[in-house]
Amino acid sequence: MSVFAGTSGFAYPAWKPAFYPKNVAPKDFLSYYATKLNSVEINYTYRQLPKAGTLESWVSATPDGFVFSLKAHMKLTHILRLKNAAEFSEIFLRAIDPLRSARRLGPVLYQLPPNLKCDVQLLADYLALLPNDLRFAFEFRHESWLTDAVYGLLSRHGVSLCIAESNKLETPKVLTASFAYFRMRKGDYSPDDRKRIAGQVHDLASDGRDVYVFFKHEDDPSGALYAQELLTCE
């Protein structure tokens, strides 16, 4: 299957000249980014509902096969905290439908707040609301969620456990869906680290899974360069 690699965002002038050439204007960042990488994780949708014109401009700026992974709106994860969220979930999914219609929508990432502790029934009730024709991933940032009961629930709904790696918490590499979703959030990855990641990712793809991998962005272009390296190695 396919490996989709990128970073969490793309609009960073500080990536010049190591990733973006000096003569590339900010308005052309996405189109250039898409010549080197085949996916991006979008944080914009965490703070506001996207306009159809914005999504259509993203599609126009990128080639067929390039996909956008969107972070679920903060109202779902941080305000409602998945409770009584049916109405706004429908609103959010309608807002991002232009990407689905264009076949350019990757997984939707639900990043739960660090102070939200495990509530299996809450998660079960929310997962029951989600359509089965889209891909979803959940990133749990409180360790109480990292249990077999949660993994089993995700598996029954075909939702991926986001395998997140940071200096604060590392999610176990448990596969709960037909695809895998990685967030590599450490500040630096050595050549050996990157070799380890590439081995895991390409093994999963060889086993028939689509694999999505997003490196940390920030003002340093390293994440984009790591993602580019991952796509070019075997």
Supply the DSSP string of 140-208, one letter for each residue.
--SGGG-SHHHHHHHHHHTPEEEEEE-SS-B------SSEEEEEE--S---HHHHHHHHHHHHHHHHTT
Confidence tier at 233 by pLDDT (50, 70, 90): confident
Confidence tier at 186 by pLDDT (50, 70, 90): confident
Q: How many CB atoms lie within 10 A of CB 18?
A: 12
Region 35-63: what's the mean pLDDT? 97
Residue 169 pLDDT: 83
The two tokens of residue 28 are: 């052309």
The two tokens of residue 111 are: 């990043």
Q: What is the pLDDT of residues 202-212, one digit of tens each?
A: 999 999 999 99
Report the SS3 class of residue 41: strand
Q: Read off the DSSP letter of residue 64.
A: T
Beta strands in 12-133 (DSSP E): 39-42, 67-71, 105-111
The CA-based angle 68-161-63, given to 5 degrees, is 15
Residue 10 pLDDT: 95
Q: How many residues does the chain have?
A: 234
**Alpha-carbon span 229 to 169, nearest angstrom:** 25
CATH architecture of 3-232: Alpha-Beta Barrel (3.20)
Q: What is the pLDDT of residues 131-150, one digit of tens each?
A: 999 999 999 999 999 999 99
**Alpha-carbon span 205 to 165, nearest angstrom:** 19
Give me the sheet containing 3-7, strands edge to edge. 3-7, 210-215, 179-184, 160-165, 136-139, 105-111, 67-71, 39-42
Residue 166 pLDDT: 83
> Would you kindly state where each structural domain of the chain is located, as residue ranges?
3-232
How would you class 191 by CB atoms within 10 Å of its CB: exposed for 0-12, middle for 13-18, buried for 19 or more? exposed
Asked if pLDDT for residue 56 goes beyond 70, the answer is yes
Asked if pLDDT for residue 11 goes beyond 90, the answer is yes
Region 37-53: what's the mean pLDDT? 97
Q: Read off the DSSP letter of residue 68.
A: E
Asked if 64 contacts 102 with a C-beta cutoff of 8 angstroms, the reply is no
Asked if pLDDT for residue 167 goes beyond 80, the answer is no
Q: Read off the DSSP letter of residue 24.
A: -
What rounded mean pLDDT belongs to the chain? 96
Asked if pLDDT for residue 200 goes beyond 80, the answer is yes
Asked if 47 contacts 192 with a C-beta cutoff of 8 angstroms, the reply is no
Confidence tier at 234 by pLDDT (50, 70, 90): low
Q: Are strands 136-139 and 105-111 parallel, antiparallel or unpaired?
A: parallel
- Choose among 182, 188, 179: nearest CA to 226: 188
- Using a pLDDT cut of 90, give the percent of the chain over it: 93
**Alpha-carbon span 149 to 159, nearest angstrom:** 14
- Using a pLDDT cut of 70, give the percent of the chain over it: 99
